[in-house]
Chains A and B, each alone.
Chain A
Amino acid sequence: MLNLFGKPKRFCDGITRRSFLKIGALGMGGAALPEILRAEAASGVRASHKSIIMIYLPGGPPHQDTFDLKLDAPSEIRGEFKTIPTSIPGFHICEHLPRLAKIMDKVAVIRSMSDARDDHSDFMCLTGRTRTNEPPGGWPSFGSLIARVQGPVDAAIPPFMGLEPRMQHKPYNAAGPGFLGVSHRSFRPEGDCKSDMALNGLTLERLSDRRALLQSFDTMRRDADASGLMNGLDSFNEQAFGMMTSSRLLKALDFQREDRRTIERYGKGDARTHGDAAPMLNEQFLVARRLVEAGARAVTVAYGFWDYHGNNFGNARNDLPLLDQGLSALIEDLHARGLDKDVSVVVWGEFGRTPVINKDAGRDHWPRVSCALLAGGGMKTGQVIGATDRWGGEPTERPVRFGEVFATLYQNLGLDISKVTVPDLTGRPQYLVPDGCLPMKELV
Chain B
Amino acid sequence: MTSAHQQPATRNRPTWTWTWSAMVASICFTGVVATAETARTDNLALEFDAASAAGAKPAMLRLKTSAARQQVLATAQGSDGFVRDLTRSVTWESSPANIVKISRSGLITPIADGEATVSARTAEGATASLKVRVEDSKAEQPINFGNQVVPIFTKLGCNAGGCHGKSGGQNGFRLSLLGFEPPEDYEHLVKESRGRRLFPAAPDQSLLLLKATGILPHGGGKRLETDSRDYQLIRRWIAQGMPYGKPEDPTVDRIEVHPVERTLRRDAQQQLVVKAIYTDGTVEDVTAGAQYDSNDKDIAQVDAAGQVKVVSRAGDAAVMVRYQSKVSVFRATIPLGIEVTKLPPSRTFVDDLVFKKLKTIGIPPSEMCDDATFLRRVSIDIAGRLPTPEETRRFLADTHPLKRDYAIDSLLESSDYADYFANKWSALLRNKRGAETQARGNFAFHGWIRDSFMENKPYNQFVSEILTASGDSTQNPPVAWYRQVRDTTSQLEDSAQLFMATRMKCAQCHHHPFERWSQQDYFSLGAFFAQVSRKGGQEPGDEFIYHKRGVAAAVNKKTNQKVKPAPLGGKPLDIASDDDPRQALADWLGAKNNPFLSKALVNRYWKHFFNRGLVEPEDDVRDTNPASNPELFNALSQHFIESGFDLKQLIRDICRSSTYQLSAVPNEHNGDDRQFFSRYYPKRLSAEVLLDAINTATESQTTFNGTQEGTRAVQLPDNSYNANSYFLTVFGRPEGTSACECERSQDASLAQSLHLLNSKDIQAKLSADGGRASKLAQDAAKPDGAKLEDLYYVVYSRAPKAEEITTATQHLGKRALGAKDDKEKTARRREAYEDILWALMSSKEFLFNH
Contact = CB atoms under 8 A, between A and B. Distances in A.
Contact of B737 (A138, A183, A230, A417): A138
A421 B165 CA distance: 14
Contacts of B838: 210, 213-214
Given A227-B674, A240-B754, A428-B506, A183 B620 contact: no
A44 interface: no
A73 interface: no
Contacts of A271: none
A233 B748 contact: yes
Contact of B219 (A218, A219, A233, A438): A438
A136 to B, nearest CB: 3
A436 B168 CA distance: 7
B740 A426 contact: yes
B356 interface: no
Contact of B811 (A32, A213, A230, A240): A213
Interface stretch (A194-202, A292-300, A365-373): A194-202
Of A217, A243, A429, A431, the most chain B CB neighbours within 10 A belong to A217
Contacts of B739: 136, 426
Interface stretch (A21-29, A258-266, A281-289, A301-309): A21-29
B400 interface: no
Interface in A220-263: 220-227, 229-230, 232-234, 236-237, 239-241, 243-244
B505 A218 contact: no
A240 B751 CA distance: 8
Interface in B712-771: 726, 729-732, 735, 737-740, 742-743, 745-755, 757-760, 763, 767
B293 A28 contact: yes
B537 interface: no
Given A136-B738, A182-B749, A425-B737, A223 B666 contact: yes
B81 to A, nearest CB: 27
Contact of A26 (B297, B748, B763, B847): B297
B524 interface: no
B168 A435 contact: yes
Contacts of A187: 750-751
Contacts, number: 226
Contact of B729 (A7, A28, A182): A182
B338 interface: no
Contacts of B303: 25-27
A224 B747 contact: no
Given A137-B743, A425-B743, A426-B738, A220 B843 contact: yes
A221 B221 CA distance: 49
Interface residues of A, number: 76
B447 interface: no
A200 B737 contact: no
A2 B845 contact: no
B358 interface: no
Interface string B669-689: 001111000010111100000
Interface in A29-72: 29, 31-32, 34-35
B301 interface: yes
Interface string A172-203: 00000001011101010000110111011110
B750 A209 contact: no
A136 B162 CA distance: 21
A428 B220 CA distance: 23
Interface in A86-108: none
A435 B166 contact: yes
Given A26-B301, A136-B738, A214-B843, A192 B751 contact: yes
Interface in B474-494: 493
A42 to B, nearest CB: 14
A34 B297 contact: yes
B757 A183 contact: no
B304 A28 contact: yes
A25 to B, nearest CB: 6
A229 B684 contact: yes
Of A35, A218, A426, the most chain B CB neighbours within 10 A belong to A426
Contacts of A236: 748-750, 752-753
B344 interface: no
Contacts of A274: none
Nearest to B679: A224
23 contacts: A1-B304, A26-B301, A27-B301, A28-B292, A29-B160, A136-B739, A137-B743, A181-B742, A182-B730, A201-B767, A213-B836, A217-B839, A217-B845, A218-B839, A225-B681, A226-B672, A233-B753, A236-B752, A236-B753, A425-B737, A426-B740, A431-B162, A436-B166
Given A26-B297, A27-B292, A244-B757, 8 more contacts: A179-B743, A181-B743, A192-B751, A213-B839, A224-B679, A226-B674, A230-B844, A417-B162
Q: Which 10 A-B residue pairings sit nearest by Cβ, starting from the closest?
A: A418-B162, A136-B738, A183-B747, A213-B839, A425-B738, A181-B745, A240-B753, A236-B753, A218-B843, A196-B754
